[in-house]
Structure 1
Amino acid sequence: MQKLTINIATNLTNTQNQNFVLSTRALFPYLVLMVVLTNSLHRANKANLVIFGVQLNVLFGVSLTILAIISPTVRLLNLLFSTITLATITKQRFYSSILCISDSRYRSNSALLYY
């Protein structure tokens, strides 16, 4: 079953001589896992670890994109999945920053009411 999947993917992407290009699709879930871990560190306010995690994620994502640059089909899939992942992260961080701002305004206003 695994060989059949690899053969189909190799034929679809036209990468018979460059089998390593398909590894970018196999390694993408690890990038998503790293992004989820970095996002959980962001919520836990671990600033130094978040900065390191973001740098590591960018380096790994760029490496996958460089490997995928040989095949147009794999490059398209890589950029599509990367865009979806980036949009999801941006949306989550945007809404969490709005919640933090509104929460801090509420706290400051409620603190003023007690004084």
Structure 2
Amino acid sequence: MMAKHKIYTMSFGSVYPHYVTKAEKKGRTKAEVDEIIRWLTGYSQAELDAVIEDGTDFETFFEQAPEMNPNRVQVKGIICGVRIEEIEEPTMKEIRYLDKMIDELAKGKKMEKILRVDTLKK
């Protein structure tokens, strides 16, 4: 069995500020970052705040997510040099979905595009 990737054991709360910083540097907000995370995972804001505070690691964060959004499969493309669609490891795929969406936020995409709202109408 392969050793777990380092990010799995990192606390979500220790990485979260980097998502917020990345967004804010580009004129976006913490509220938008939270909205993306809630959309992806089904956590309420209170649940999300608790997870950020309590040191929950990435793997547990995704395993215990109330409801992973079925539309997250619409999140495609390359992140960190890897094509999301080709990632086989489930937890890593979830992490990369989140990375990609935060990236899109920082690049100035509209929230409805990031949250794949238009894909629901088809």
TM-score by length of 1: 0.29
Higher helix share: 1
Q: Which has the higher relative contact order, 1 or 2, with Cα contacts under 8 A spaced 6 or more apart? A: 2
Larger radius of gyration: 1
